[in-house]
Structure 1
Amino acid sequence: MNVGKLFIILGIVFLIVGVIWTFIGKLPGDITFKKGNVTFYFPIMTSIIISIILSLIFFVLGKFR
């Protein structure tokens, strides 16, 4: 697989994740602490889901190699 195709695939993946993230927003399981004017946001569930999706994508890409 050449680098151009890889960048196109990654761009499409980022576009899909961005659109989904825009409509879903914060998932249950994400941690948010607010104290005064300081907000700490740790997207643990979002990170796990993105990790699973990327692992599946790279697994499928590896099968075609």
Structure 2
Amino acid sequence: MVEYEIHRLRAAELRHLAAHQRLVGEALRARRAARRSAGAEAPGPRADTHGPRRNRFTRAA
């Protein structure tokens, strides 16, 4: 009987964790969509782009 109660508690915990992860994913998707829509309306370059990205290692001869 104790194993059954442990199983029920673990299943409830997993359901709660899955619901939380779905909520976090939904919030991230909403933030990305808001950034995309704001980025389309904002003129000028983005603050995090500083021209072409350079390789951080030197080239081998």
Do both share a fold (TM > 0.5)?
no
TM-score w.r.t. the length of structure 2 is 0.41
TM-score w.r.t. the length of structure 1 is 0.39
Q: Which has the higher strand share?
A: 1
